[in-house]
A and B are shown apart, each in its own frame.
Chain A
C-alpha cells in the first residue's frame, strides 16, 4: 500500500499542475473555480483511496459502492466547478435585472 499512497500523492500533485497549466495560464480559473477544483481533487483522491483500501482488505462490494456513490458525488463537484462562473454570472445578471429593471 505504501506505493499506492505515493502514487496518490503524485496524482494529486499532477492534477493541480494540470489545472494550473491548462486553465490558469489560459486565464480560465477564478478563485471560486480554484476552491471547487481543490475540493474535487481531494474528493477524487478520497474516492480512489477508498476503492483501493477496500480492495486491499478484500471488500469488493465496499469498493464498488464507493466507486458508485463517491464517484457520483465527484462528478457533481466537477460539474459545479466547471459551471460555477456561469452560475455566478447568471445570478449576478438576474440581481442586476431586479435592481435596474428595463423601462419600456
Chain B
C-alpha cells in the first residue's frame, strides 16, 4: 500500500507541474499574472494624463459651425458701448465707479482691508501689472495699438512659402507655444467679431502736459474710429494664458488681481512676439489684447473652449481661469474647429457662480436666452447675459476685479486626473449632483484671508 501511495503522488506531480514550495501550478501562475498585468495597467491608467490635453479628446465634440446660437439682431459690437468706455465717456452711473476702481488699482485712492490687502499683496500686484501699465500704457480696457500692441512692424520682404495651410498652422502653433502661450487655436477671420468702432488711444491729439491719464481716472477724452485693417485678414491666432490657481483662489483680494495683471503683462508679450514672428516670415500681423475684436467668440471659433454662464470662456484644461489675446493676420492657415464639452448643459444645473457673485451680476435663468442684461450686452446671441454694471460696481468697492465667479467655478481646477474624471461626469445624467459633491469636497471655497496665507506659505 505504501508503494501504491508513493506512485500515485509521483503521477500527480507529473500531471500538474508546480512551482514554489506552496504548490502553485504553472497554469495558475500564468493566469494570475495576466490578471496582475490588467491591474497594473489600471493603475498606470490612473497615473497618465486623461484625455483633454489636445482639445480633441474624449468627451469633446467638434463642430463645423459656430456652436452658439445667434439671430438676425446680432450686429458687430461698437466698443463705445463697452462698460469701460461708457465710464471713460462720462456716463454718470458708470464713471464714478470706474474712477474709484482705477484710483484704487493705481494706489491713488487707498484701499481699505485687512489680511489679503497688505503691502506684500499690493507690491505683487504692482509688479504683475507693471508691463501692462508701463509698457502697454494700460491697454486693458480695450485701447488698440498701445505699447507692445502697436500695429506697425517691419515685415520681411522675403515671404516664407509654407507648403500648405496645414503646415502653416502647425508651424504657427509650435512657435506660439514656444513664445509663451499655454494654448493656441486658429480661427478663420470673421468680420462679426471685429468691433465696428474701436477706441484707438485715450488722448491721441493732446500733448503730454494736457493728457488725462486713463490709468488713474476715467478721462472723458477718447479717440475712436471705424475698425479697418491695412491688409485683408484671413485668420486669427487666439492664445489662452492660464492665470495662477492659488492667487485666483484668493479672490476677491489683491492677489487675484495680481494673477490677472500677470497675464495681462504676458498677453502683450506673447501677442507682440507672435506678430513679430509672422512679420519676419513676410506676412502682415496685428497683435491684439482686449482691443479690435471680441476675444471670447474668437476663442470659441478657434476651438479653445465653450461659452459659460459667467459669459466668459471655459477651457477644457484650465476652466474659466484664463486670459485671451490674439493676432490677426493674412497668413493663410487651416483653422481649428469649434468644440463643446458639456459646459452649457452643466451650467444649466450648477449656478455656483451665480450664487457666489457678491452683486448678483450673473444670470440665474436656467436656460440661456436672447435677453440683454445691460446696454453693453450684444444683441442676438443666445447666452446667459452678465450684468456688467453690477459687476464693475464690485470692482470699485474692492479695488480688484473680484473673480469670485472664476474661483468658485467647478471647472476651475488643477490639471489632475481626478478632475478630468469629474469633467467627464458633467456629460452624464449625474451632472446635477456634481455641484453638491464639488462643495462637499471643499472645492472653490471663498476665503481671501486663508487663501492669501496659503499662497505665501505654499512651496513652489
Contact = CB atoms under 8 A, between A and B. Distances in A.
A8 to B, nearest CB: 5
A25 B47 CA distance: 32
Contacts of A49: 43, 46-47, 417-418
A24 B442 CA distance: 42
A12 B32 CA distance: 12
Q: How large is the interface on B (under 10, 10 to 19, 20 to 34, 35 or more residues)?
A: 20 to 34
B223 interface: no
Interface in B209-252: none
B443 A62 contact: yes
A9 B443 contact: no
B279 to A, nearest CB: 41
A45 B46 contact: yes
B442 A61 contact: yes
Contacts of B47: 1, 5, 8, 49
Interface in B36-76: 36, 38-40, 42-44, 46-47
* Residue among A15, A34, A57, A66 with max Cβ neighbours from chain B (10 Å): A57
Interface in A6-62: 8-9, 12-13, 15-17, 20-21, 24-25, 34, 38, 41-42, 45-46, 49-50, 53-54, 57-62
B22 interface: yes
Interface string B423-458: 000000000000000001111000000000010001
Nearest to B29: A20
B23 interface: yes
A42 to B, nearest CB: 5
Contact of B441 (A5, A9, A62): A62
Contacts of A87: none
Contacts of A65: 440-442
Nearest to B246: A58
B40 A58 contact: no
Contacts of A20: 24, 28, 32
Given A24-B28, A38-B35, A54 B42 contact: no
Contact of A12 (B42, B418, B441, B443): B42
B22 A21 contact: yes
B416 interface: yes
Q: Which among B44, B47, B417 has the highest number of chain A CB atoms within 10 Å?
A: B47
Nearest to B245: A57
A2 to B, nearest CB: 8
B40 A12 contact: yes
Nearest to B413: A57
B159 interface: no
B192 interface: no
Contacts of A16: 32, 35-36, 39
Contacts of A62: 441-443
B414 interface: yes
A16 B47 CA distance: 19
A45 to B, nearest CB: 6
Contacts of B443: 59, 62
Contacts of B414: 57
Contacts of A42: 39, 42
7 contacts: A12-B40, A13-B40, A17-B32, A54-B418, A59-B443, A61-B441, A62-B441
Interface of A: 1, 5, 8-9, 12-13, 15-17, 20-21, 24-25, 34, 38, 41-42, 45-46, 49-50, 53-54, 57-62, 65-66
